[in-house]
Amino acid sequence: KAGVTQTPRYLIKTRGQQVTLSCSPISGHRSVSWYQQTPGQGLQFLFEYFSETQRNKGNFPGRFSGRQFSNSRSEMNVSTLELGDSALYLCASSLGGGPLSYEQYFGPGTRLTVT
Amino acid sequence: ILNVEQSPQSLHVQEGDSTNFTCSFPSSNFYALHWYRWETAKSPEALFVMTLNGDEKKKGRISATLNTKEGYSYLYIKGSQPEDSATYLCARGHNNNDMRFGAGTRLTVKP
C-alpha cells in the first residue's frame, strides 16, 4: 500500500506571498492532519480534516487554512507568508477517528523556506 | 496552555542497555496519549496510542504505560540496539480536539 505523499518536497517563497501544499493520504484513510515543525516550537498541530470538513484545529492564525477533497486528498494554504512560517510541514493520515485516538501515518514533509 | 514535557531531553546508552523516558502532561480533559519515533531524515512513526488509565502497550522490545490520573506515561526500550537511535515524541490529545507534542527525547545507542 502506498504511503502518504506530499508535494512539493521543498519550496522557497518570498515574504508576503502565499503557498499551497498538497497531501495525498494512504488509500482508504479519510482523516488528514497537518503539522508544523520548527526548531523553536517543535511539532505543532495545525488542523485535521475528515470527509471534507475541518474537524479539529490547533492554535494558528487564520492565514493558515486547508481543505479536503472528496478523494481525501488535502491541501494546506498559507497566505501572506512571514519569515516565521519557514518550517517543515508534515501531513498525516489515519483511518477515520482522527489524530486524537487513531494511529497516524506521516508523509515525508514539505520544507518551506520564506525569504 | 497545555504543556507536554518530556525527560530526559537526550540520552546516550550502550547497546544492550534497557532505558526509559517520561512524558508528563496535564491530567485534566485528557483524551489520548501518543508515542512516536522520529528518525533523522524520515517521517515520524507511530508507536502507541493509549486512551485508558493503566493502559500498557508493547511492540517488540518497546513498551509504554499510561497514568492519566497523575498525568504521565513511560516508554521503555529493552535491550537497546543502534537502530533504536531516534527522537521519541509523545503527544497529548485534549478533548477540545487539540493535540500537543512534547519536545522529544533524543536517544543515541552506541554499539
Query: What's the pLDDT tens digit per position in B47-58?
Result: 999 989 999 999
CA dihedral A24, A27, A32, A36 (to 10 degrees): -50
* pLDDT surpasses 90 at B99: no
Average of per-residue pLDDT across B41-65: 94
Buried/exposed code over B82-102 (b: 16+ C-beta within 10 A; e: otherwise): eebbbbbbbbbbbeebbbbbb
B96 residue type, one letter: N
* pLDDT surpasses 50 at A54: yes
Give the separation between CA B102 and CA B6, rounded to whole angstroms. Answer: 6
Given B42, B97, B104, which is nearest A55 (Cβ)? B97
Query: What's the pLDDT tens digit per position in A73-112?
Result: 999 999 999 999 999 999 999 886 655 677 889 999 999 9
Interface size between A and B, measured as CB pairs under 8 A: 52
Question: Quick one: pLDDT at residue A97?
Answer: 64
Q: What is the DSSP letter of A60?
A: -
* B90/A contact by beta carbon, under 8 A: no
Query: What's the pLDDT tens digit per position in B67-81?
Result: 999 999 999 999 999
The sheet that has A64-68: what strands, in order across it? A5-7, A19-24, A74-78, A64-68
- pLDDT category, A59, cuts 50, 70, 90? confident
Give the separation between CA B57 and CA B59, rounded to whole angstroms. Answer: 7
Count of alpha carbons within 13 angstroms of residue A86, beta-carbon side: 11
* pLDDT surpasses 90 at B2: no
- Give the nearest chain A residue to B95 (CA atoms): A100
* B29/A contact by beta carbon, under 8 A: no
Beta-bridge partner residues of B12: B108
* pLDDT surpasses 50 at A28: yes
Chain B contacts of A90, Cβ < 8 Å? 43-44
Given A42, A101, A106, which is nearest B32 (Cβ)? A101
B17 or B99: which carries more pLDDT confidence? B17
Interchain pair A99, B93: CB under 8 A: yes
- pLDDT category, B5, cuts 50, 70, 90? very high
Give the separation between CA A85 and CA A87, rounded to whole angstroms. Answer: 6
Question: Quick one: pLDDT at residue B1?
Answer: 43
